[in-house]
Amino acid sequence: MTGDLLIRSVRPWPNLPGAPLVDVLCEGGHVAAFAPDLDPPPAVPVVDGRGGVLLPAFTDAHAHLDSTRLGLPFRPHSAGAGLADLIENDRRNWRSAEASVAQRATYTLARTIAGGATHVRSHAQVDVDSGLEKLEGVLAAREEHRGRAHVEVVAFPQCGILREKGTAELLEAALRAGADLVGGLDPAGYDRDPVGHLDVVFGLAEKHQRGVDVHLHDGGTLGAFQVELICERVRALGMQGQATVSHAFALSTVDGERQRELVELLAEHDIAVTTVAPGVREPLPLRELRRAGVRVGLGQDGIRDYWSPYGNGDMLDRAWQLAYRNGFRRDDLVEMCVDIATRGGAAVMGRTLGLTEGSPADLVVVPGDTVTAAVMDRAPRTLVVHAGRVVAAEGEIV
């Protein structure tokens, strides 16, 4: 489902203040031309960018669409501190939501698309309590928005793999049911058996020829050790380019020399990293990772759920948070955050986005005269385009 489209009057990034507005012609789902005052070919729809900044569409490289309560009556946060209590709190409450997992995931994915993201990697919890119910809800949301966004789903063992008998079998069932990747969670810190945990994750990945995306909150020496274990398995299985470490707090909690070693290891094995611009943990060494050639993506993580009241589906908002959390003021650094939130996340998902002729016509138009101004203002998106078709306008999906 690709389309032709002419977008009038936008400022493609990188744009200089005062640069002339151009039109963008999309043909067959790809960008075909940038020029002022283009004539639309017959029958090609024409939309007005109204002088906004043109960016590659956003990518949410780390979401949890299965747990969201966005759009539902607000519930006060009820979890205690620590991962185990957050997990238990979710388990106590998720079945009493006012809407099904599919309805909630569908609504939040709509908000995410309306905010300009046309690529999303969502984790879906798979455990002995919920079975495949949450996964099926996320798959239904993906189906509902097919044509508006490219969505990958990770079978995510939120409650560990080895702590609860039957989880490994459920993960395999999730892959057969439509999950794209195998997830993992703190193989040492939560499951307390990093080798056993990762052998299940990579064993399933090898058997079913899927990528992996491991949540690694463990920091310091323990986290660094697990990064090495992941690299060993990627090398042994020839899985370069198919593995992601999410959060990767180890990178920001070891000393400089060790950090350099880990960044080089990730680059050598082409292992991607995603961050959610965490509020309470040290930010990742973004510049060092990108300089080394590591693919870095940004995600929302949980979106107003039993884990946290934060998150609103808006990846431009999250890009602002990444810049703010890192203390960035210079335009080039703010723009780096936008690059991570757009092209970077797409690269994590193995996709190439951009603003050159021939790039996929996955685009977003944001009011603003420069990219940094657009990030600071975070106005509703004028247009969101996926594969050459308008999928959202003025902050609402179409």
* DSSP states along 32-64: EEEETTPPPPTT--EEEEEEEEEEEPEEEEEE-
Q: Which of residues 26 and 272 has its CB atom nearest to Zn ion in the complex?
A: 272
* Binding residues for Zn ion, total number by CB under 5 A: 1
Residue 180, token pair as written in the block: 């794209």
Q: Which of residues 13 and 156 has its CB atom nearest to Zn ion in the complex?
A: 156
Distances from the Cα of 70 to the Cα of 96, 98, 186, 247, angstroms:
15, 11, 27, 23
Q: Do the Cβ atoms of 207 and 199 come closer than 8 Å?
A: no
Beta bridge partners, 395, equal: none
Minimum separation from the CB atom of position 93 to Zn ion (A): 18
Residue 338, token pair as written in the block: 């936008």
Q: Which stretch binds Zn ion (CB under 5 A): 144-152, 228-236, 254-262, 296-304?
A: 296-304
Q: Which of residues 125 and 242 has its CB atom nearest to Zn ion in the complex?
A: 125
Minimum separation from the CB atom of position 244 to Zn ion (A): 11
User: What is the Cα gyration radius of the chain?
Assistant: 21
Q: Which stretch binds Zn ion (CB under 5 A): 103-111, 181-189, 218-226, 295-303?
A: 295-303
Q: Which of residues 65 and 353 has its CB atom nearest to Zn ion in the complex?
A: 65
| Phi, psi of 11, deg, nearest 5 | -115, 95
| Phi, psi of 397, deg, nearest 5 | -70, 155
Choose among 153, 159, 121, 158: nearest CA to 140: 153
Minimum separation from the CB atom of position 216 to Zn ion (A): 10
Instruction: Determine the Cα–Cα distance for residues 136 and 106; give it in Å rounded to an integer.
Output: 12
Query: Which residues, other chains included, contact 199 with Cβ-Cβ below 8 Å and sequence gap of 6+?
Result: none
Q: Do the Cβ atoms of 194 and 226 come closer than 8 Å?
A: yes
Q: Which of residues 301 and 362 has its CB atom nearest to Zn ion in the complex?
A: 301
Minimum separation from the CB atom of position 299 to Zn ion (A): 7
Q: Which of residues 163 and 258 has its CB atom nearest to Zn ion in the complex?
A: 163
Instruction: Determine the Cα–Cα distance for residues 138 and 57; give it in Å rounded to an integer.
Output: 21
Site track 252-291 with Zn ion (rule: CB under 5 A), x = hit: ----------------------------------------
Q: Which stretch binds Zn ion (CB under 5 A): 136-144, 168-176, 284-292, 301-309?
A: 301-309
Q: Which of residues 5 and 243 has its CB atom nearest to Zn ion in the complex?
A: 243
Minimum separation from the CB atom of position 247 to Zn ion (A): 7
Q: Which of residues 23 and 301 has its CB atom nearest to Zn ion in the complex?
A: 301
Instruction: Determine the Cα–Cα distance for residues 33 and 377; give it in Å rounded to an integer.
Output: 28
Q: Which stretch binds Zn ion (CB under 5 A): 89-97, 234-242, 281-289, 294-302?
A: 294-302
Element (DSSP H or E) covering residue 104:
helix 101-114
Minimum separation from the CB atom of position 311 to Zn ion (A): 11
Minimum separation from the CB atom of position 127 to Zn ion (A): 14
Q: Which stretch binds Zn ion (CB under 5 A): 124-132, 198-206, 231-239, 293-301?
A: 293-301
Q: Do the Cβ atoms of 300 and 315 come closer than 8 Å?
A: yes
Minimum separation from the CB atom of position 121 to Zn ion (A): 10
Minimum separation from the CB atom of position 63 to Zn ion (A): 8
Q: Which of residues 301 and 314 has its CB atom nearest to Zn ion in the complex?
A: 301
Q: Which residues bind Zn ion (CB under 5 A)?
A: 301
